[in-house]
Structure 1
Amino acid sequence: MNKFLSEFKRFIMRGNVLDMAIGVVVGAAFSKIVSSLVTYIIMPPLGVLLGGIDFSNFFIILSTTKHAGTLAEAQAQGIPVIAYGAFINTVIEFLIIALAVFVVIRQINTFFPKQKEVPAVRHCPYCREPIAEEATRCPHCTSVISE
């Protein structure tokens, strides 16, 4: 049992596991910020530009016997609905999160030097073994290279 616990402790304390845990916590907090940004800052002006539309209140009632004017009323009455407006908001949130992650990763990539392109390996035309670019004779088959 002690060996199991010490192995588990080593696993948990590895850098990449801790980094991943921190990433999940920060990601959850970032998701709340983006959700708030979409709900309270982006969607209202977008709704105004589209003629006063509130996406969060777009829904389809699946019941033929009950009716509701708003999504909140339908949910309060327990009416089954397809809340496609909430889906639209979620898609917009996803796109904003994806854009933010792209910008961050792109910025991080500028901190690291670009890898040099490895030149194409020259091969002997006779034995097809790799040879030095300046070689005049193949070190494997000893053929004279006239290229």
Structure 2
Amino acid sequence: MGMIGEFKEFAMRGNVIDLAVGVVIGAAFGKIVTALVDKVIMPPIGLLIGGIDFSQWVWTLKAAGVDAAGEAVPAVTIGIGEFLNTMIQFVIVAFAIFLLVKVVNRLSRKHEEAPAAPAEPTEEVLLLREIRDTLRR
């Protein structure tokens, strides 16, 4: 089998396609969560704390300035607000994945716990039933 045939076999496996679908849906979900955090959750929190725009909240290590050659030197900052936004996004995504895994586990347990068909009676049980029926007569 040539390399193209092997690649086709690999790409058509169910696991690879499932993974690709998961990555696409995960990327879209990440965008939704980012918009939720940046546009819905953080503005009210910033308003409650005193009108802080968290995405602009930085810790300045060195202010912007001009060097000896007259070139502008940008400020050196640590983006605390962006970090907080990212942490909140992570918590939301992790919680959503937790809920999804919990539902899948519950469904798989119910599927496994489905009652099996009753087992066939053993030869001893059949013999005892036969004896019982004979004694009744």
**Which residue is equivalent to 2:15?**
16
Gaps of 5+ in 1: 68-76, 117-147
Q: TM-score, normalised by structure 1?
A: 0.64
1:52 maps to amino acid = G
Residue identity over aligned pairs, in percent, reads 46
Question: Which residue of 88, 94, 112 maps to 2:90?
Answer: 94
Q: Which has the larger radius of gyration?
A: 2
Which stretches of structure 1, 4 residues or more, deviate above 4 A after TM superposition?
none
Deviations 1:69-106 (A, max 9, x none): xxxxxxxx743322121011000000000011111111
Query: Aligned partner of 2:80: which letter?
Result: Y
Q: Considering only aligned residues, what root-mean-square deviation do their CA atoms show, in Å?
A: 2.2
Q: Give distance in 2, aligned partners of 1:65 and 1:93.
A: 30
3-state secondary structure, aligned to 2:109? coil
Which residue is 1:47 aligned to?
A: 46
Contact 2:55 2:82 in 1 (8 A): yes
Q: Distance in 1 between matches of 2:34 and 2:64?
A: 34
Larger RCO: 1 or 2 (CA < 8 Å, sep 6+): 2
Ranges in structure 2 where 5+ consecutive residues have no aligned partner: 67-72, 114-137
Q: CA deviation at 1:64?
A: 4.2
**1:111 alignment partner in structure 2:** 107
CA distance in 2, matches of 1:49, 1:95: 21
1:96 corresponds to which letter in structure 2?
I
Report deviation, 1:65: 4.9
User: How many correspondences in the alignment?
Assistant: 106
Instruction: Give 1 or 2: higher helix fraction.
Output: 2
- Determine the C-alpha separation between the residues in 2 that align with 1:51 and 1:79: 24
For residues 114-135 of structure 1, give each alpha carbon's deviation from its aligned partner in whole angstroms, at most 9, with x where no partner exists.
667xxxxxxxxxxxxxxxxxxx
SS in 2 for 1:112: helix
TM-score, normalised via structure 2 length: 0.68
